[in-house]
């Protein structure tokens, strides 16, 4: 993980630049579209950077900016889980539970905190999914990994670490 103090200064600098660019273009950044202006483009920010803004441990960011960063991070999580929604409609939660476990295993504690994801939440989801039918096996997890990588490239949550046997084995052992 990066040094929070250095990352925080970098984040502030990048945010200030975005606000200044909007002013230079005769506009302003807004968190309420009814007031005009433009939305803050945080697409270049990492999940961890958005989490640092959301968690706002040093009180460096406004409440509106923290809420906005949390919403953008939540949107990335939602996008990452969209490929599994169709199966949920049929009562099969296994793919989503495996995706959540995989994402959880690859996100920083900052991101977990910002999203409110905990180990117990993940385990409860896995337990519920275990009643959905046959367990997923390692070949399913490889496909899952490919789906999550593709969605990450389209704006979903990033996968900070490459998949390794331990993470795949942990998911497989849980018999989702």
* Per-residue confidence in pLDDT tens, the chain, 176 aa: 233 344 578 999 999 999 999 999 999 998 888 888 899 999 999 999 999 999 999 999 999 999 999 999 999 999 999 998 888 777 778 888 989 999 999 999 999 999 999 999 999 888 878 876 665 555 555 577 788 888 888 888 887 655 454 444 444 444 44
Question: What are the E-state strand segments in 5-148?
Answer: 29-30, 38-39
For the whole model, what pTM was predicted? Answer: 0.74
How far apart, in whole angstroms, are the C-alpha atoms of residue 161 and residue 138?
18
| pLDDT for 142 | 59
How far apart, in whole angstroms, are the C-alpha atoms of residue 41 and residue 22?
11
How far apart, in whole angstroms, are the C-alpha atoms of residue 77 and residue 83?
11
Report the C-alpha dihedral over residues 150, 155, 161, 162, rounded to 10 degrees: 10
How far apart, in whole angstroms, are the C-alpha atoms of residue 67 and residue 65?
5
Strands 29-30 vs 38-39: parallel, antiparallel or unpaired: parallel
Spatial CA neighbour of 50 closest among 97, 102, 112:
112
Alpha-carbon torsion (163, 101, 128, 71), positive or negative: negative
* Backbone torsions φ then ψ of 165, nearest 5 degrees: -60, -35
Spatial CA neighbour of 158 closest among 93, 84, 108:
108
């Amino acid at each position: 993980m990066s040094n929070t103090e250095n990352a925080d200064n970098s984040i502030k600098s990048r945010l200030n630049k975005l606000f200044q660019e909007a002013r230079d273009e005769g506009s302003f950044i807004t968190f309420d579209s009814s007031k005009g202006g433009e939305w803050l483009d945080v697409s270049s920010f990492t999940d961890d950077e958005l989490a640092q803004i959301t968690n706002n441990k040093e009180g460096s960011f406004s409440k509106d900016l923290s809420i906005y960063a949390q919403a953008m991070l939540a949107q990335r999580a939602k996008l990452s889980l969209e490929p599994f929604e169709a199966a949920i409609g049929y009562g099969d939660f296994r793919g989503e539970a495996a995706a959540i476990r995989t994402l959880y295993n690859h996100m920083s504690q900052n991101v977990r905190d910002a999203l409110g994801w905990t180990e117990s939440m993940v385990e409860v989801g896995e337990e519920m999914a275990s009643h959905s039918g046959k367990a997923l096996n390692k070949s399913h997890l490889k496909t899952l990994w490919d789906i999550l990588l593709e969605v990450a490239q389209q704006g979903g949550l990033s996968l900070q670490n490459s998949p390794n046997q331990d993470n795949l084995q942990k998911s497989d052992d849980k018999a989702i």
